[in-house]
């Protein structure tokens, strides 16, 4: 098989798939010499003019700069510096529209030339062979050279490749219609271009250098052939004119028959491609120490009087160039930067020429129909003629891509290799349905990129969220651990028996009591809710509940306070209310049971007051179980059958009155008891008695309330007035509760004395007799508390309690 070079020497080239032959229109400019650069009034220099990052500006507004002076630096390999194209003053640094299809605004440096065009100090280097490779690369970087064919890839990245290079391909194909910038550059500056090629040769040491040029540039071909005649390993490859042979991948295919694998740079195949204009810039930079500050721009189109190539300073506004070339079309302007196939429309004529700008096209209406004219935008349905697939240089299926793009079927688009589309525009050019295919692909590509960004974001968010969840979980465990430890420590401390431990215990007990009270309230709350319908009532009811709860809680506190000395076991039992049954302790924890027990106690007390009232503890322990059983039994029928209610009520009232009487007597007895106890002091006596009297009064008051309640209950049962009476009922209850609470407070006050004394005593000595005494005192307090609680309960829950007493 013949080698690539043999084939090329014979003029046999490979072919890339597809391609088109749009009208070339190069005759407009290809015969005229390149006009010299004029200095416009103002230069707009975007700080980023290539693919990659912008450098950091090192000048500020008001600075005077010399021609060729560096304006920005960057340390990133993908960042390139910019230079002052002429001497002048930096008048502004601001966001301006940049030459990009999007028309976005980016930071630009505005330079007002002084007209002197004074160069900075330059170091001419006539023989680059004397320079080291590193030095040459440095010069290329400092000159800010990017690929000048269109994409603007930083040149030093390409030429500093470590891969072994077989072919250095110089791209002079210039396949886009109208553009003749490279053609003219070759014609006029072939020695400099050759110097640039030699520098690249020196840097990359390729086996062969191929200059690809389309056969429609006779003069340039001749010039190149003459210039390279005496260099063996440079081949001028005259390839057939076909768009887009100037595409990197397409030119590689034409010249070497190889395809660049998707997603890989040509250097992996041992190839590097450079544009001729880039070669010129490299030579200029290395030899003449001239940074990239000007370039050849084809200003063409039939709307111009004098279409021509011009040396334009980087930053020259497009309008300045078209004006110089005689742009007369005053309205409905249509300016394209780049060629007609891949260029983009400009939003205004103040957009500057940048390093990659090779053409400004000002077409007439006949050449390129504007989007506003009647002959344009005649997009009709695709008829699947397949002409687009025939011309696609990437061998894609444009019509299928189009269907998928319209349907936003992103997986299918990627399956059809949308991202291998080079946007050459051949498909849209031939489409008989005049579908702007490339536009659909651009939109689809942008959407897919956007979607990918979102996916990445979502993925990150997910990771973050999961990390957070883990952290919270960890923290929770740590917290629980800490709490457990703290609880254990506390328990240990409490069991230690120090005074501090005791006070802590009582605090814990109080807290538990509060919790219990709340629970009980919740229980009774449910009862009431089941009877009452409206929320208003519920609020009222809640109020009464609250009052009740407060009363109860206070009672509890009292009880607990006096209980504390007995044992910690007691307190613990209170904590697990539900699990009380298995415990052997006769302490009543169930509220209702307690209440019932209290009532029963009261009754019992009444009955046995003459006989034995000294040992209350025995009484309570004896009665606890049966009473709680009955109270449970009583509750059921009441909730089920409302007809029983009046009976209940009556019974209750009767019971209450009886109880009140009994209590009054019982209290007297208790007073006596208290006096009898060794622990209680005689000073207690005067205060206690009035307190008890007060309590009795309160009880009577509450009884009254219950009586009134009773008189109204029959009405309450009738379905018509239910709600109204129910709320009345609540009010009554609230009143009763308040009364009770007050009474309880008093009781509390009087009771405070005995527990405190008992406590003091316990702290003095832990001997048994004292403890027993304390228990006795405590019992009394509990009884009082239980009574108070019973009252509260009675009113809170509109049923129960009376039955067992009868």
Partner 1 sequence: MAFWIASSPHNHQQSETSALMRMVIYATIPGIFAQWYFFGWGNLIHIALAVATAFVAEFTVLSLRKKKITTQLFDGSAILTAVLLGISLPALAPWWITIIGSLFAIVVVKQLYGGLGHNPFNPAMAAYVMLLISFPVQMTLWQPPLSLLAMDIQLADTLSVIFTGYTPQGYSVEQIRTHIDGFTMATPLDTVKTNLTQGFTVLESMKAPTIGKYFGLGWEWINAGFLLGGLFLLSKKSIHWTTPVSFLSSLFICSFIAFIISPDSSASTMFHWFTGATMLGAFFILTDPVSGATSVKGRLIFGALAGLLVYLIRKFGGYPDAIAFAVLLCNMAAPLIDQYTRPRTYGHKLGAKK
Closest CB 386 distance from partner 1, rounded Å:
4
- Per CB under 8 A, contacts with partner 1 among 22-41 are 22-23
Task: Give whichever of 287 and 341 is closer to partner 1, judged by the CB atom.
Answer: 341
Q: Calculate helix-pair angle for 499-531, 591-608, nearest 10 degrees.
A: 100
State the DSSP code for 266: G
Options 347-355, 450-458, 726-734, 737-745: segment touching partner 1 (CB under 8 A): 347-355
Min separation Cβ 449 and partner 1, Å: 17
Q: 51 CB contacts (<8 Å, ≥6 apart)?
A: 78, 146, 151, 152, 153, 154
Q: Which is nearer to partner 1, 416 or 775 (CB)?
A: 416
Query: Is there binding between residue 259 and partner 1 (CB under 8 A)?
Result: yes
Query: Shortest Cβ distance from residue 422 to partner 1 (Å)?
Result: 9
Residue from 169, 192, 394 nearest 296 by CA: 192
Size of interface with partner 1, in residues (CB under 8 A): 76
Give every CB contact of residue 190 below 8 A, 6+ residues apart in sequence.
Answer: 223, 224, 226, 227
Q: Is 319 in the site for partner 1 (CB under 8 A)?
A: no
Nearest approach in angstroms of CB 368 to partner 1 is: 5
CA proximity to 84, closest of 66, 57, 110: 66
Element (H, E) at 309: strand 308-313
Cβ pair 788, 555 in contact under 8 A:
yes
Q: Select the residue interacting with partner 1 from 97, 175, 353, 382 (CB under 8 A).
A: 382
**Residues near 182 by beta carbon (within 8 Å), at least 6 away in sequence:** 172, 174, 220, 275, 276, 277, 296, 358
Exactly one of 108, 220, 282, 342 binds partner 1 (CB under 8 A); that residue is: 342
Judged by CB under 8 A, which stretch of 219-227, 329-337, 676-684, 758-766 contacts partner 1?
329-337
Cβ closer to partner 1: 127 or 332? Answer: 332
Closest alpha carbon to 757 in 620, 473, 565: 565
Q: How far is the CB of 7 from partner 1 (least distance, A)?
A: 18
DSSP string, 114-151: -S--PBPP----S-GGGS-HHHHHHHHHHTT-B-SSSS
Give the residue with the Cβ less far from partner 1, 337 or 792: 337
Beta strands 336-337; 72-73: pairing state: unpaired
CB nearer to partner 1: give 395 or 534: 395
CB of 218 vs partner 1, minimal distance in Å:
24
Tell me the window of 16-24, 613-621, 658-666, 720-728 that interacts with partner 1 (CB under 8 A): 16-24
Binder among 390, 409, 504, 609 for partner 1 (CB under 8 A): 390
How far does the chain reach from its first CA to its final CA, in angstroms? 122
Count CA atoms within 13 Å of residue 127 on its CB side. Answer: 2
Question: What is the C-alpha separation between 145 and 126, in angstroms, rounded?
Answer: 20
Cβ closest to partner 1, residue 55 vs residue 363: 363
Q: Helix, strand, or coil here: 379?
A: coil
Per CB under 8 A, does 154 bind partner 1?
no
Binding characters for partner 1, 411-450, by CB under 8 A (x = yes): -----xx--x--x-xx-xxxxxxx-x-xx--x--------
Q: Does 397 bind partner 1 (CB under 8 A)?
A: yes
Q: What is the DSSP string of 552-609?
A: HHHHHHHHHHHHTTT-HHHHHHHH-SGGGTTS------SHHHHHHHHHHHHHHHHHHT
Is residue 368 part of the contact set for partner 1 (CB under 8 A)?
Answer: yes
Locus of tokens 């560096």: 70
Beta pairing class for 308-313 and 336-337: unpaired
The minimum distance between CB 18 and partner 1, in angstroms, equals: 10
Q: Which stretch binds partner 1 (CB under 8 A): 45-53, 369-377, 623-631, 719-727?
A: 369-377
Our finding on whether 536 is near partner 1 (CB under 8 A) is: no
Candidates 33, 77, 257, 386; binder of partner 1 (CB under 8 A) is: 386
Distance between CA atoms of residues 799 and 661, nearest Å: 21
Which of these ranges, 360-368, 527-535, 553-561, 644-652, lies near partner 1 under the rule CB under 8 A?
A: 360-368
CB of 22 to partner 1, least distance (A): 6
Q: State how far the Cα of 203 lies from the Cα of 161, in Å rounded to an integer.
A: 10
CB-nearer residue toward partner 1: 307 or 565: 307
Phi/psi of residue 317, nearest 5 degrees = -65, 140
| The CA-based dihedral angle spanning residues 612, 615, 616, 621, taken in that order and rounded to the nearest 10 degrees | -110
Shorter beta-carbon distance to partner 1: residue 17 or 32: 17
Residue 723 lies near partner 1 (rule: CB under 8 A): no
Instruction: Annotate 6-74 with DSSP letters as a single string.
Output: HHHHHT-----S--B-----GGGTTTSPPBPPPPPS-EEEES--SSSEE-EE---TT-EE-BT-B-EE-
Residue appearing with tokens 């209310």: 577
CB of 235 to partner 1, least distance (A): 24
Nearer to partner 1 among residue 234 and residue 254 (C-beta): 254
> Could you say whether residue 118 binds partner 1 (CB under 8 A)?
no
Task: Indicate whether 370 belongs to the interface with partner 1 (CB under 8 A).
Answer: yes
Which of positions 77-116 make contact with partner 1 (CB under 8 A)? 101, 103
What contacts 559, CB < 8 A, 6 or more positions away? 513, 781, 782, 785, 786
Write out the binding residues for partner 1, residues 615-644 only, by CB under 8 A: none
CB of 347 to partner 1, least distance (A): 6
Nearest CB to partner 1, comparing residues 431 and 796: 431
Residues numbered 263-302 forming contacts with partner 1, rule: CB under 8 A: 263-264
Q: Which is nearer to partner 1, 417 or 644 (CB)?
A: 417
| Least distance (Å) between residue 405 CB and partner 1 | 13
Residues in the chain: 806
- The residue within the footprint of partner 1, chosen from 11, 191, 261, 686 (CB under 8 A), is 261
Of 4, 8, 13, 16, which lies in the binding site for partner 1, with binding defined by CB under 8 A?
A: 16
> Cα angle at 269 between 266 and 273, to 5 degrees?
40
Residues 157-216 that bind partner 1 (CB under 8 A): 177
The residue (of 44 and 781) whose beta carbon lies closer to partner 1 is: 44
Q: Does 465 bind partner 1 (CB under 8 A)?
A: no
Q: Which H or E run contains 437? A: helix 437-496
Residue number with CB closer to partner 1 (101 or 191): 101
Q: Which of 10, 123, 331, 768 binds partner 1 (CB under 8 A)?
A: 331
Q: Which is nearer to partner 1, 318 or 790 (CB)?
A: 318
To which residue do tokens 């215990």 refer? Answer: 505
| CB of residue 354 to partner 1, shortest distance in Å | 18
Site stretch for partner 1 (CB under 8 A), options 283-291, 346-354, 482-490, 492-500: 346-354
């Amino acid at each position: 098989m013949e080698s690539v070079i043999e084939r090329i020497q014979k003029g046999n080239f490979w072919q890339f798939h597809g391609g088109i032959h749009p009208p070339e229109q190069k005759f407009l400019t290809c015969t005229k010499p390149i006009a010299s650069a004029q200095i416009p009034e103002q230069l707009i220099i975007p700080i980023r003019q290539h693919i990659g990052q912008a450098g950091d500006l090192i000048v500020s507004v008001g600075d005077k700069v010399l021609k060729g002076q560096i304006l920005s630096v960057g340390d990133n390999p993908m960042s390139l510096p910019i230079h002052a194209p002429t001497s002048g003053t930096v008048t502004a640094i601001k966001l301006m529209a940049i030459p990009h299809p999007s028309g976005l605004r980016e930071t630009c440096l505005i330079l007002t030339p002084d007209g002197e065009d004074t160069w900075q100090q330059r170091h001419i280097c006539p023989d680059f062979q004397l320079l080291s490779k590193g030095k040459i690369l440095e010069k290329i970087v400092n000159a800010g050279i990017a690929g000048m064919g269109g994409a603007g890839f930083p040149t030093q990245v390409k030429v500093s490749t470590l891969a072994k290079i077989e072919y250095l391909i110089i791209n002079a194909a210039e396949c886009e219609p109208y553009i003749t910038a490279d053609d003219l550059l070759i014609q006029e500056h072939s020695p400099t271009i050759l110097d640039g090629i030699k520098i690249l040769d020196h840097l990359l040491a390729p086996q062969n250098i191929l200059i690809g040029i389309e056969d429609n540039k006779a003069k340039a071909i001749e010039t190149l052939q003459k210039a390279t005649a005496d260099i063996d390993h440079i081949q001028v490859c005259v390839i057939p004119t076909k768009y887009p042979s100037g595409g990197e991948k397409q030119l590689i295919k034409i010249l070497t028959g190889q395809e660049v694998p998707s997603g890989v740079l040509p250097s992996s195949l041992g190839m590097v491609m450079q544009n001729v204009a880039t070669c010129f810039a490299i030579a200029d930079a290395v030899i003449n120490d001239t940074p990239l500050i000007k370039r050849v721009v084809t200003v063409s189109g039939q709307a111009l009087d004098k279409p021509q190539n011009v040396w334009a300073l980087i930053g020259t506004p497009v309008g300045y160039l078209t004006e110089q070339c005689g742009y007369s079309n005053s309205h409905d302007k249509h300016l394209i930067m780049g060629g007609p196939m891949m260029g983009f429309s400009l939003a205004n004529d103040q957009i500057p020429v940048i390093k990659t700008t090779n053409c400004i096209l000002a077409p007439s209406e006949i050449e390129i129909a504007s989007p506003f004219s009647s002959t344009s935008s005649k997009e009709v349905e695709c008829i699947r003629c397949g002409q687009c697939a025939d011309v696609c240089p990437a061998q894609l299926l444009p019509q299928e891509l189009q269907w998928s793009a319209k349907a936003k079927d992103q997986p299918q688009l990627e399956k059809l290799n949308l991202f291998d589309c080079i946007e050459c525009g051949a498909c849209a050019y031939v489409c008989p349905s005049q579908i702007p295919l490339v536009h659909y692909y651009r939109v689809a590509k942008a959407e897919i990129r956007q979607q990918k960004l979102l996916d990445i974001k979502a993925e990150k968010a997910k990771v973050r969220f999961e990390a957070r969840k883990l952290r919270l979980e960890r923290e929770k465990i740590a917290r629980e651990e800490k709490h457990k430890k703290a609880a254990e420590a506390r328990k240990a401390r409490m069991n230690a028996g120090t005074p501090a431990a005791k006070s802590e215990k009582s605090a814990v007990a109080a807290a538990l009591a509060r919790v219990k009270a709340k629970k009980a309230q919740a229980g009774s709350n449910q009862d009431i809710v089941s009877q009452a319908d409206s929320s208003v009532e519920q609020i009222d009811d809640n109020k009464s509940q609250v009052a009740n709860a407060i009363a109860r809680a206070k009672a509890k506190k009292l009880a607990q306070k006096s209980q504390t000395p007995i044992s910690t076991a007691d307190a613990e039992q209170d904590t697990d209310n539900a699990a009380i049954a298995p415990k052997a302790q006769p302490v009543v924890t169930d509220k209702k049971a307690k209440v019932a027990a209290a009532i029963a106690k009261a009754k019992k007390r009444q009955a046995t007051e003459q006989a034995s009232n000294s040992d209350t503890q025995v009484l309570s322990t004896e009665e606890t179980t049966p009473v709680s059983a009955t109270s449970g039994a009583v509750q059921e029928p009441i909730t089920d059958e409302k007809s029983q209610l009046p009976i209940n009520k009556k019974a209750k009232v009767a019971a209450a009155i009886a109880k009140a009487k009994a209590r009054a007597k019982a209290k007297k007895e208790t007073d006596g008891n208290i006096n009898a106890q060794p622990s209680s002091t005689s000073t207690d006596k005067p205060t206690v008695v009035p307190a008890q009297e007060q309590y009795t009064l309160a009880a009577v008051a509450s009884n009254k309330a219950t009586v009134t309640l009773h008189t109204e209950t029959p009405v309450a049962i009738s379905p018509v007035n239910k709600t109204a009476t129910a709320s009345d009922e609540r009010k009554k209850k609230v009143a009763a509760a308040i009364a009770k609470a007050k009474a309880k407070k008093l009781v509390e006050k009087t009771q405070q004395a005995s527990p405190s004394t008992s406590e003091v005593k316990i702290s003095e000595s832990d001997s048994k007799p004292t403890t027993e005494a304390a228990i006795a005192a405590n019992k009394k307090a509990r009884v009082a508390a239980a009574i108070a609680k019973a009252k509260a309960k009675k009113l809170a829950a509109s049923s129960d309690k009376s039955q067992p007493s009868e």
